[in-house]
Copies of this chain bind each other. A is one copy, B any other.
Amino acid sequence: MPTVTPQERLAGVLARDLASVDALIRERMASEHAPRIPEVTAHLVDAGGKRLRPMLTLAAARACGYDGPHHIHLATTVEFIHTATLLHDDVVDESTQRRGRPTANLLWDNKSSVLVGDYLFARAFQLMVETGSLRVLDILADASATIAEGEVLQLTAARDLATTEDTYIRIIRGKTAALFSAATRVGAVIAGAGQAVEEALFAYGDALGIAFQIADDLLDYAGDAGIGKNRGDDLREGKLTLPVIRALALADADERAFWQRVIVRGDVADADVARAQAILAGRGALESTRETALVWAARARDALAAVPAGELRDILSDLAAHVVSRLN
């Protein structure tokens, strides 16, 4: 019998809320006059996204005892911001595949991806306005700026072997964790939870997002080629992720020449992905990166101590362990 994952358990407990979120997504991605907008959006929204980020908002709000209607708006907001960043990321990364399907920029064009992303971002802010909460707007406007800043930082740090671990954490905190932590925080805010609970849920989302992204970056070198993203994508794009940063610190002259050629000059042959994996393993960088991901997952679990006890808190705790369980 297949194991039920924490995400599946969350989806079960939050089934009614998730159905409301899906209905609101459909309603608000519509455009009376520009049918291209729902076409492009549906391509991505229907492609089996796991709705992880909106579930974080719903779970946070419900864990804090929220009983009103606005967590649905906020969860939809979070999914729209996420979808907008995916559309823009695929243009920026010149991607051709997302969630196992051709990307929107390939099926339509970069223009549609840019403009439909802008539309969804504007729609996200309209939904926030409907909650009537300026604090929520403040948190998600800040998160949106931090996401874009993280993406720009990733762009300018690419192919730069001098990238530090601090810069790496800043990049992934921006591009990934900022929306996780805003998603959990606004759930607490809309529920009127106190400051301690709000900060705990923020810290949980932040650490969960960082653990999630470190795991993702590790799987780019260590993962089964059949699961998730294509092995070696980061290497080909010249991204300095944690395993590479750590292996670089210990590199001998030969290894340094290798990283120089593949990452700085972008000269990557098929055999270079296996060579990179061998160097990373030899320098202990895969193992030490895995340990760092586990540390962040533990921080996420620990942060939940201040959150009201109950089934949702238990599942959120298991979720933190789960996002790094792919690394075993």
Contacts and interface: CB of A to CB of B under 8 A. Distances in A.
A142 interface: yes
Given A125-B125, A141-B122, A144-B122, A34 B115 contact: no
Interface string A82-116: 00010010011000000000000000001110111
A128 B110 CA distance: 29
A91 B118 contact: no
A318 interface: no
A199 interface: no
Contacts of A152: 31, 34, 36-37, 112, 115-116, 119
A153 B33 contact: yes
Interface in A10-38: 31, 33-37
A111 B155 contact: yes
Interface of A is mostly: helix
Nearest to A127: B141
Contacts of A33: 149, 153, 167, 170
Given A134-B132, A156-B34, A148 B125 contact: no
Contact of A148 (B122, B142, B155): B122
B118 A88 contact: yes
Q: Which of A85, A132, A151 has the largest count of B CB atoms less than 10 A from its CB?
A: A151
A155 B36 contact: yes
